[in-house]
């Protein structure tokens, strides 16, 4: 019953996140693909138009920070996030970082360097813990759907 009642709020959530995406694009010049999902508690600090771009089918989880301003040099170094990525809760993406396609950033990770495609990074500083993974939409691993069906007996 709880899942059914929470799903009633889904249209409101989609409206609010879409409104926030449009505001970030208009006010801060941040490029977010319409199919990307961003949390309402995530923070984007672009510094200039085009400072941050988020690719298609990417999920940015709660309390994440994407900061394109390099305070040491006073410059803006753009952040690029590829397609079908997942950025875990509480993680930080630092200035000048490029996440290639199909990357998973673990919760609480601090990413200082570019991340190659199809890999998982974790830690502070973030290091590649797994490579050559296969993910779907929003950085969801292949076996996740089967595990969900088994767990909830769907």
Q: What is the CATH number of the domain that holds 144?
A: 2.160.10.10
DSSP three-state, residue 55: coil
DSSP three-state, residue 68: coil
pTM: 0.85
Domain coverage including residue 111: 2-152
Neighbours of 90 (CB within 10 A): 15
* pLDDT tens, residue by residue, 17-47: 889 889 988 988 899 999 998 988 999 998 8
CA nearest neighbour of 89 among 66, 107, 67:
107
pLDDT score of 2: 55
The count of structural domains within the chain is: 1
Cα(94)–Cα(19) distance, integer angstroms? 25
């Amino acid at each position: 019953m709880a899942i059914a009642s929470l799903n009633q709020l889904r249209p409101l959530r989609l409206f609010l996140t879409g409104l926030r995406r449009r505001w970030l694009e208009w006010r801060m010049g941040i490029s977010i693909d319409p199919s990307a999902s961003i949390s309402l508690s995530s923070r984007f600090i672009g510094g200039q138009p085009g400072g941050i771009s988020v690719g298609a089918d990417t999920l940015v989880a709660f309390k994440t920070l994407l900061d394109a301003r390099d305070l040491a040099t006073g410059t803006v170094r753009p952040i690029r996030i590829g397609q079908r990525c997942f950025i875990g809760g509480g993680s930080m993406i630092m200035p000048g970082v490029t996440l290639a396609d199909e990357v998973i950033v673990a919760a609480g990770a601090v990413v200082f360097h570019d991340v190659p495609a199809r890999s998982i990074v974790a830690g502070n500083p973030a290091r590649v813990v797994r490579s050559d993974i296969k993910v779907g939409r929003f950085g969801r691993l292949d076996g996740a759907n089967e595990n969900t069906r088994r767990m909830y007996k769907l």
